[in-house]
Amino acid sequence: MAHGWEMQHDDSVVVIGQDVGANGGVFRATAGLQARFGADRVQDTPLAEATIAGMSVGMATHGLKPVAEIQFMGFLYPALDQIVNHMTRMRNRTRGRLSCPVVIRTPHGGGIHAPEHHSESTETLLCHIPGVRVVCPSSPARAYGLLLAAIRDPDPVMFLEPVRLYRAMRQDVSDDGQALPLDRCFLLREGADVTIVTWGAMTLESLRAVVALEAQGITADLIDLATLSPIDSETILTSVAKTGRLVIVHEAARNVGVGAEIAAIVAEHGLYDLQAPIQRVAGFDTIMPLFRLEHDYIPSVQRIVDAVQFTLAA
Amino acid sequence: MSTFKLPDLGEGLAEAEILLWHVKPGDQVQVDQPMVSVETAKAVVEVPVPFSGRVTALHGVVGDIIATGARLIDLEPSTTTRGVPINGVDLRASTAARGAPINGIDFEPGTADTPPIEAKNLDAGTVVGTMPTPSEEDLLEPVVIGRARGANGSRPRAVPVARALANRLGLALDDMVGSGPDGVLTLADVIAHAGMNGASAAARPAAPAGTGVTPPSLPTPPGAASEPLRGARRAMAHSMSMSRDQVAGSTVCDDADIHAWDRRGDYVLRLIRAMIRACAVEPALNAWYDAAHNSRVLLRHIDLAIAVDTPSGLIVPVLRDIGNRTPEDLRAAIAAHKDAAHRRSMTPDDLRDFTLMLSNFGTLAGRYGIPLVVPPAVAILGAGKVRQDAVVVADAVVAHRRMPLSLSFDHRCITGGEACRFLAAVIADLEEPD
Amino acid sequence: MTIVAEFQIDHRQILAPDGHLVAPLPPFAADVDAVVAMYEAMTRVRVFDAKAVNLQRTGQLGTYPSSLGHEATHVGVGAAMRPEDVLAPVYREYGTQLWRGVTMTEILTYWGGDERGSDFAGPRHDFPWCVPIATQTLHAAGAAMAFKIRREPRCALAYIGDGGTSEGAFYEALNLAGARSLPVVFVIVNNGWAISVPVAAQTASQTLAQKAVAAGIPGIQVDGNDVFAVRDVVSRALETARRGGGPCVIETLTYRLSDHTTADDASRYRSDAEVEQAWSLEPLLRVRAYLRRAGAWNDAREQSLLQACSRQVDVAVSDYLQLAKPSTDAMFEHLFAELPAHLHAQRTTARKYAAKPSGH
């Protein structure tokens, strides 16, 4: 819907990717767009991710705003050369003369028993790169508002769409063209005892954990990070100042995950507010398993609850 | 009878609409034969018969939207094989196979939901995937974008190790003032506060001891009961331990000849006056010593802590700024303190931050003593029992009333000379007539 | 002006859609039992494939890419390869894999979400299924390089789809193979569609075989629904490569009679008429007609074959369905040859939180 709104109001927005045209995208995210806006503005590309990313650089530097789809995050890697070496640097290396208003959308995370390589969460690779934003919405409504913001942003945005959320929720989203702010967290629950920071599909487990904890008289600030890079430290630090306890939850592997950056920020700027060590609940440092074990890999509600309990006992 | 539930037909589909049934209740059906056509968000899909048997019930009519994981059809599994000839040209027709009853297929492990949370029903039938059903999702729209509403300043900020020490000592951070950046409480702040506030720990419930190894308890003889020390007794154990651990104590004793006094009693006011005089002579004894930073603060005002013996233990309320108060005022304050001490209604403010201490143990018994200095103060004067002593005056032995005095001081920052000069000044004042 | 280079791409067909020979019979086809063996293999994979789709539709298998329509290409390639050669598949070529000893249970296990499916008991040196498009072509080139360095008379064979020939890795693999004269054969299975993108939208190249020209290696096109032609062309290419004669690109023309995978709905982007037309060219039809005409096949044998295949498929499905869910240790077992110490604690945590076990 966000595509449609923005393409309606901004001629320069074009959609490219594999199977985004007639097929409307393998998750139907671009359904109906080609019929509405034509095959020039909604293009099926040849099967080549480097092509998608590279042509986006070319299109964006010359008057268009490409919204490009990489079919699954597991297929992103041929595109990294173009993203890291060009898309994120063009403004800097031309001193602002050329820039890349590009959005690259890609499905993120697992949990829908998809085939191999279709369940990746390697957002850390992207967050580490200067010159690009990384956004991961946690609901259809926020996906709408954040995608609009991403398209309108004059610089590159990696837009990671949690696969579990494509059809997990029925949420009436008003097609009103209202963007949500980038670079800000969203507070989904308010509480006093602990701060939980998460994003993407793990928001579901985190919410369930919060419900379970409330039954035990424990309340939490549940923060949806939403923009993974740059991190809205202020919201997190304000919350930790109130609660004194922090649990970070992400599906991605623990080692050098985005949770590590959040923990470092709080250690640097919020140490004196902490009542207990920071806890990270994350995927294991193993290859994402094929789907028979994916629910053993993806952090469970119980792991989140246990981590919160641990901070309260410390 | 087995219930077959709608599987996830393609990577995360949450529901499907029934378009056309190819079977009806009562039909004998073969595995893989077309059963129902449904439409998902992605496609029109033919769902084949999962196992051979007889249809007993359909759980939806054309147009119904069935959620993934919801009941679709009931089948009575058959145990015999019935081959269906295959159209040799076109294997798009179903393939006959010896259908094995497939009960209780649970393709996906259960969700990681734990008992306190509403558990999904994943037992019989086949369910692929654990797509959260829409009714489960109750994501609120964000309450606040960005800045979480924090209760600013509601909790004191402290270096973690300071917080840990405060917990062990049973001290509340709220009472302390932080000397770190932005008022953060440092370890030194907690230590200093613990020292100045030794007796004040009585006002707060003490937290359990720290996480160090606990030595074994003393054996309790039969008939006796082990009694944990609380309140004032606990505070005293704590401040005296600190005194022993930190202070380099030294004591000098002497006597004040008070035969010139007209009245008996009211010694305390005379003692107070004498100590005020002595502080003017030797201000070094009205100070705080900070060993960690190797520094001391000479204090202008004298906040005198006077020990009060109560049935529940030693309480040491503090008279503020005695140098600038009238005797009447002091008398009233002393009486009020005694009363409050006995009633155990002292507040932490009454007990903290003394600069000098007086122990008038002579009201009970004792001549000389070695009173203990409680840091960060550096001196304590003990007054023993007034008695008639044989003294030599102009080569003759006469009986004079004398008050024994014992002045303990922290020799880390008070010299013997300073101490003796202070004592001499006390004695000189006390020996004046009323 | 002088012409410095030209190219020509041949198209080969031996068995026409109705089962008549339009070219001399290749040597292997002189033995009717060999032809029957290939026909049986093509039938078996089709029966298996139909069952696999049904398993997905009944929630007992994950997303599955069907090989319907590709049987001649797949079996022809499999029959042309030697056991000691190495296959680098994409993810659809079950006919080749079954011929080479991969089991139906292994195929189901993989698409059932269990890595054990890729631990082939049979062809231990073949590459596993490869989902990131075209990356396998470089793997094949690398294996061929190993054979060359070690002077082994073995070849690598990489499959790739029409869509895959747009990927950079494909061009790089061809280029390397040509530049180093590697013993590798690239089989482009042009089935007309890359999910919803038709070949015409994929490239301006008239044939896909001619992409070999840019790499300086031979390219040839073959009727991919003609198992005789496929086997013949691939055999020759492998023999050339094995002798040190360098790599080759073979484009097989066929049609994807099924959806891209069970998560796709091809009716959204292609016409029923086109699919119907393609059915008339399908590979089993013509081999069956050839065998009947040769007096080597009849209805009874057909029924008997179908039933035998069904039984075999049933056994494989049963074995698959009984495979217990692996323990969480499986996530840690093969991460490295030896699990580093810092991961022992995570392995323990995973055990503690193991989701409840279940069958299929």
**Tens-digit pLDDT profile for residues C122-151:** 999 999 999 999 999 999 999 999 999 999
Decide if B114 and A305 are in contact by the 8 Å CB cutoff: yes
Looking at the structure, tell me whether residues C240 and C303 fall in a common domain.
yes
Task: Label residue A42 by pLDDT band (50, 70, 90).
Answer: very high
Task: Label residue B213 by pLDDT band (50, 70, 90).
Answer: low
Q: Which residue of A has its CA nearest to C323?
A: A292
Looking at the structure, tell me whether residues A227 and A260 fall in a common domain.
yes
Q: How far is CA C98 from the centre of its chain?
A: 10
Looking at the structure, tell me whether residues A19 and A111 fall in a common domain.
yes
Best mutation target among C40, C45, C49, C57 (most B Cβ atoms within 10 Å) is C57
With a CB cutoff of 8 Å and minimum separation 6, the contacts of A242 are A192, A195, A221, B148, B149, B150, B151, B154, B155
pLDDT at A306 over 70: yes
pLDDT at B101 over 50: no
Looking at the structure, tell me whether residues C279 and C355 fall in a common domain.
no
Looking at the structure, tell me whether residues C218 and C248 fall in a common domain.
yes
Looking at the structure, tell me whether residues C341 and C208 fall in a common domain.
no
DSSP 3-state assignment of C253?
A: strand
Phi-psi region of B294 (alpha: psi -120 to 50; beta: other; left: phi over 0): left
Q: Is residue C178 part of a domain?
A: yes
Looking at the structure, tell me whether residues B69 and B1 fall in a common domain.
yes
Question: Which ipTM score applies to this complex?
Answer: 0.88
- A–C interface: beta-carbon pairs under 8 A: 122
pLDDT digits (tens, 9 = 90+) for A222-275: 999 999 999 999 999 999 999 999 999 999 999 999 999 999 999 999 998 998
Q: Is residue A197 part of a domain?
A: yes
**Which residue among A290, A297, A302 places its CB closest to the CB of C115?**
A290
Looking at the structure, tell me whether residues A117 and A213 fall in a common domain.
no
Looking at the structure, tell me whether residues A190 and A144 fall in a common domain.
no
Quick one: what percent of chain A has pLDDT higher than 70?
98
Q: Which residue of A has its CA nearest to C170?
A: A48
Per-residue confidence (pLDDT) for residue B214, from 0 to 100: 59
Report CA-CA distances (Å) from A106 to A120, A133, A166. Answer: 10, 14, 12
Best mutation target among C54, C281, C298, C327 (most B Cβ atoms within 10 Å) is C54
Contact with chain A for residue C326, Cβ under 8 A? yes
Contact with chain A for residue B388, Cβ under 8 A? no
Please name the helix (run of DSSP H) or strand (run of DSSP E) that holds residue A249, with its range, or none: strand A246-253
Rounded average pLDDT over B82-90? 33
pLDDT at B108 over 70: no
Best mutation target among C196, C333, C335 (most A Cβ atoms within 10 Å) is C196
Report CA-CA distances (Å) from B101 to B46, B77, B401, C360. Answer: 20, 6, 112, 13
Please name the helix (run of DSSP H) or strand (run of DSSP E) that holds residue C275, with its range, or none: helix C272-279
Joined tokens for residue B233: 């007794």
Catalytically annotated residues of A: 118
Q: Detail the DSSP E strand segments found in C4-150.
A: 11-12, 86-88
Decide if B11 and A113 are in contact by the 8 Å CB cutoff: yes
Tell which residue, C178, C201, C159, C200, has the closest CA to residue C65. C159
Size of chain C, expressed as the number of residues it contains: 360
Report CA-CA distances (Å) from A114 to A291, B107, B126, C114, C136. Answer: 7, 13, 17, 12, 20
pLDDT at C114 over 70: yes
Looking at the structure, tell me whether residues B266 and B405 fall in a common domain.
yes
pLDDT at B199 over 70: no
Task: Label residue B100 by pLDDT band (50, 70, 90).
Answer: very low
Looking at the structure, tell me whether residues B175 and B285 fall in a common domain.
no
Decide if B107 and C262 are in contact by the 8 Å CB cutoff: no
**Which residue among B86, B88, B105 places its CB closest to the CB of C60?**
B105
**Placement of tokens 């001649």 in the chain:** C72
B143 CB-side CA count, 13 A = 12
Joined tokens for residue A181: 């702010």
Looking at the structure, tell me whether residues C247 and C291 fall in a common domain.
yes
Q: Is residue A181 part of a domain?
A: no
Q: What is the CATH number of the domain that holds B334?
A: 3.30.559.10
Q: Is residue C4 part of a domain?
A: no
Q: Which residue range(s) make up the domain with B9?
A: 1-85+94-113
A9: closest CA of chain C, how far (Å): 28
Q: Which residue of A has its CA nearest to C128?
A: A116
Per-residue confidence (pLDDT) for residue A83, from 0 to 100: 97
Q: What is the CATH number of the domain that holds B188?
A: 4.10.320.10
Joined tokens for residue B313: 């233990």
Q: Is residue C308 part of a domain?
A: yes
Residue-averaged pLDDT of chain C: 96
**Placement of tokens 């380099």 in the chain:** B248
**Which residue among B108, B116, B141 places its CB closest to the CB of A113?**
B108
Decide if A295 and B131 are in contact by the 8 Å CB cutoff: no
Quick one: what percent of chain B has pLDDT higher than 90?
45
Looking at the structure, tell me whether residues A216 and A141 fall in a common domain.
no
Per-residue confidence (pLDDT) for residue B150, from 0 to 100: 52
pLDDT at B207 over 60: no
Looking at the structure, tell me whether residues C176 and C279 fall in a common domain.
yes
Cβ proximity of C170 and C160 under 8 Å: yes
Per-residue confidence (pLDDT) for residue A27, from 0 to 100: 83
Decide if B139 and A241 are in contact by the 8 Å CB cutoff: no
Residues of chain A with Cβ-Cβ distance to B143 below 8 Å are 187-190
Decide if C131 and A117 are in contact by the 8 Å CB cutoff: yes
Gap between the Cα atoms of C261 and C53, Å rounded: 9
**Which residue among A22, A51, A296 places its CB closest to the CB of C350?**
A296
Looking at the structure, tell me whether residues C233 and C330 fall in a common domain.
no
C188: closest CA of chain A, how far (Å): 14
Task: Label residue C34 by pLDDT band (50, 70, 90).
Answer: very high
DSSP 3-state assignment of A196?
A: strand
Q: Is residue A177 part of a domain?
A: no
Cβ proximity of C267 and A22 under 8 Å: no
Please name the helix (run of DSSP H) or strand (run of DSSP E) that holds residue C115, with its range, or none: none
Per-residue confidence (pLDDT) for residue B56, from 0 to 100: 95
Q: Is residue A55 part of a domain?
A: yes
Gap between the Cα atoms of A92 and A86, Å rounded: 10
Per-residue confidence (pLDDT) for residue B222, from 0 to 100: 83
Helix C71-80 to helix C227-242 angle (10° resolution) is 30
Gap between the Cα atoms of B310 and C133, Å rounded: 87
Q: Is residue B126 part of a domain?
A: no
Per-residue confidence (pLDDT) for residue A215, from 0 to 100: 94
pLDDT digits (tens, 9 = 90+) for C230-288: 999 999 999 999 999 999 999 999 999 999 999 999 999 999 999 999 999 999 999 99
Looking at the structure, tell me whether residues B399 and B259 fall in a common domain.
yes
Contact with chain B for residue C318, Cβ under 8 A? yes
Chains that touch A (3 or more CB pairs under 8 A): B, C
pLDDT digits (tens, 9 = 90+) for C70-109: 999 999 999 999 999 999 999 999 999 999 999 999 999 9
Decide if B48 and C57 are in contact by the 8 Å CB cutoff: yes
Looking at the structure, tell me whether residues B262 and B407 fall in a common domain.
yes
Contact with chain C for residue A44, Cβ under 8 A? yes
pLDDT at B130 over 50: no
pLDDT digits (tens, 9 = 90+) for B18-45: 999 999 999 999 999 999 999 887 778 8
Contact with chain A for residue C267, Cβ under 8 A? no
Decide if A190 and B154 are in contact by the 8 Å CB cutoff: no
Looking at the structure, tell me whether residues A20 and A157 fall in a common domain.
yes
Q: Is residue C6 part of a domain?
A: no
Looking at the structure, tell me whether residues B285 and B387 fall in a common domain.
yes
Cβ proximity of C93 and C70 under 8 Å: yes
pLDDT at B265 over 80: no
Domain stop point among A108, A131, A166: A166
Gap between the Cα atoms of B429 and B278, Å rounded: 8
A2: closest CA of chain B, how far (Å): 18
Q: Which residue range(s) make up the domain with A283?
A: 186-313
Looking at the structure, tell me whether residues B57 and B165 fall in a common domain.
no
Decide if A239 and B150 are in contact by the 8 Å CB cutoff: yes
> Distance from first CA to last CA of chain B, Å, rounded?
110
Q: How many domains does chain A have?
A: 2
Looking at the structure, tell me whether residues C295 and C332 fall in a common domain.
no
Tell which residue, A185, A181, A180, has the closest CA to residue A233. A185
Q: Which residue range(s) make up the domain with C348?
A: 325-360
Cβ proximity of B361 and B316 under 8 Å: no
Report CA-CA distances (Å) from C248 to C86, C158, C184, C222, C233. Answer: 15, 11, 7, 13, 10
Per-residue confidence (pLDDT) for residue B272, from 0 to 100: 96
Task: Label residue C58 by pLDDT band (50, 70, 90).
Answer: very high
Residues of chain A with Cβ-Cβ distance to C133 below 8 Å are 47, 75
Tell which residue, B296, B263, B279, has the closest CA to residue B381. B279
Best mutation target among B68, B105, B147 (most A Cβ atoms within 10 Å) is B147
Looking at the structure, tell me whether residues B320 and B398 fall in a common domain.
yes
pLDDT at B396 over 50: yes
Q: Is residue A45 part of a domain?
A: yes
Looking at the structure, tell me whether residues C249 and C355 fall in a common domain.
no
Per-residue confidence (pLDDT) for residue B157, from 0 to 100: 83
Looking at the structure, tell me whether residues A10 and A145 fall in a common domain.
yes
Looking at the structure, tell me whether residues B167 and B104 fall in a common domain.
no
With a CB cutoff of 8 Å and minimum separation 6, the contacts of C49 are C66, C67, C68, C94
Least confidently predicted of A119-128, A161-170, B170-179:
A161-170
Chains that touch C (3 or more CB pairs under 8 A): A, B
Gap between the Cα atoms of C151 and C183, Å rounded: 11
The three state secondary structure string of A19-55 is CCCCCCCCCCCCCCHHHHHCCCCEEECCCCHHHHHHH
Q: Is residue A178 part of a domain?
A: no
B112: closest CA of chain A, how far (Å): 5
A72: closest CA of chain B, how far (Å): 12
Decide if A22 and C114 are in contact by the 8 Å CB cutoff: no
Gap between the Cα atoms of A248 and A308, Å rounded: 10
pLDDT at A170 over 80: no
Q: Where are the alpha helices (DSSP H) in A244-287?
A: 258-269
**Which residue among C60, C284, C307 places its CB closest to the CB of B126?**
C60
Report CA-CA distances (Å) from B52 to B22, B31, B35. Answer: 14, 5, 11
Q: What is the CATH number of the domain that holds A155?
A: 3.40.50.970
Looking at the structure, tell me whether residues B60 and B179 fall in a common domain.
no
Residue-averaged pLDDT of chain B: 78
Q: How many domains does chain C have?
A: 2
With a CB cutoff of 8 Å and minimum separation 6, the contacts of C146 are C152
Q: What is the CATH number of the domain that holds A194?
A: 3.40.50.920
Helix B160-169 to helix B187-196 angle (10° resolution) is 20
Catalytically annotated residues of C: 256, 260, 269
Looking at the structure, tell me whether residues B109 and B252 fall in a common domain.
no
Looking at the structure, tell me whether residues A162 and A221 fall in a common domain.
no
Looking at the structure, tell me whether residues A215 and A289 fall in a common domain.
yes
Q: How far is CA A211 from the centre of its chain?
A: 24
C42: closest CA of chain B, how far (Å): 12
Looking at the structure, tell me whether residues C315 and C332 fall in a common domain.
no
Domain stop point among A133, A166, A199: A166
Cis peptide preceding A230, ω within 30 of 0: yes
Please name the helix (run of DSSP H) or strand (run of DSSP E) that holds residue A280, with its range, or none: strand A279-283
Residues of chain C with Cβ-Cβ distance to B42 below 8 Å are 263-265
Rg, Å, chain C Cα set: 21
Q: Is residue B78 part of a domain?
A: yes
Helix A202-214 to helix A301-313 angle (10° resolution) is 50
Cβ proximity of A293 and C325 under 8 Å: yes
Say which DSSP state C206 is in.
S
Cβ proximity of A43 and C217 under 8 Å: no
Q: What is the CATH number of the domain that holds C170?
A: 3.40.50.970
Report which of residues B134 and B314 the model is more confident about: B314
Q: How many domains does chain B have?
A: 3
Gap between the Cα atoms of A5 and A7, Å rounded: 6
Decide if C58 and B111 are in contact by the 8 Å CB cutoff: no
Q: Where are the alpha helices (DSSP H) in C59-103?
A: 71-80, 94-99
Report which of residues B231 and A285 the model is more confident about: A285
Looking at the structure, tell me whether residues C313 and C341 fall in a common domain.
no
The three state secondary structure string of chain B is CEEEECCCCCCCCCEEEEEEECCCCCCEECCCCEEEEEECCCCEEEEECCCCEEEEEECCCCCCEEECCCEEEEEEECCCCCCCCCCCCCCCCCCCCCCCCCCCCCCCCCCCCCCCCCCCCCCCCCCCCCCCCHHHCCCCCCCEECCCCCCCCCCCCECHHHHHHHHHHCCCHHHCCCCCHHHCECHHHHHHHHHHCHHHHHHCCCCCCCCCCCCCCCCCCCCCCCCCCCHHHHHHHHHHHHHHHHCCEEEEEEEEECCCCCCCCCHHHHHHHHHHHHHHHCHHHCEEEECCCCEEEECCCCCEEECEEECCEEECCEECCHHHCCHHHHHHHHHHHHHHHHHCCCCHHHHCCCCEEEECHHHCCCCCCCCCCCCCECEEEEECCCEEEEEEECCEEEEEEEEEEEEEEECCCCCHHHHHHHHHHHHHHHCCCC
Decide if C62 and A115 are in contact by the 8 Å CB cutoff: yes
Cβ proximity of A54 and A91 under 8 Å: no
Looking at the structure, tell me whether residues C196 and C275 fall in a common domain.
yes
- B–C interface: beta-carbon pairs under 8 A: 111
Looking at the structure, tell me whether residues A155 and A10 fall in a common domain.
yes
pLDDT at B269 over 50: yes
